Amino acid sequence: MYIIVITISDGNDNTPVKINIKVFGIILVHILSGILETLVSILYIPVFGAQIKYN
């Protein structure tokens, strides 16, 4: 199982929000990564960290 951890900050000095997405299968990981990158580029949300962990 792959876990995508995304750290999003709103630009202020607030605590970054971490989003954990559990994905089954490497193909879904690539699909979700592409979707997330597209959303980030459209919404102009600063993403300071995105990593994939395998548990």
Structure token digits, residue 29: 């990981």
Residue 12's pLDDT is 63
Q: Please list, in sequence order, all residues whose beta carbon lies within 8 angstroms of the beta carbon of residue 19, skipping any fewer than 6 positions away.
A: 4, 5, 6, 8
**Alpha carbons 30 and 20: distance in angstroms, whole number:** 15
Residue 12 — φ and ψ, nearest 5°?
A: -85, -175
Residue 37's pLDDT is 77
Residue 19's pLDDT is 66
Mean pLDDT by 10 residues, the chain (55 residues): 65 64 68 77 56 53
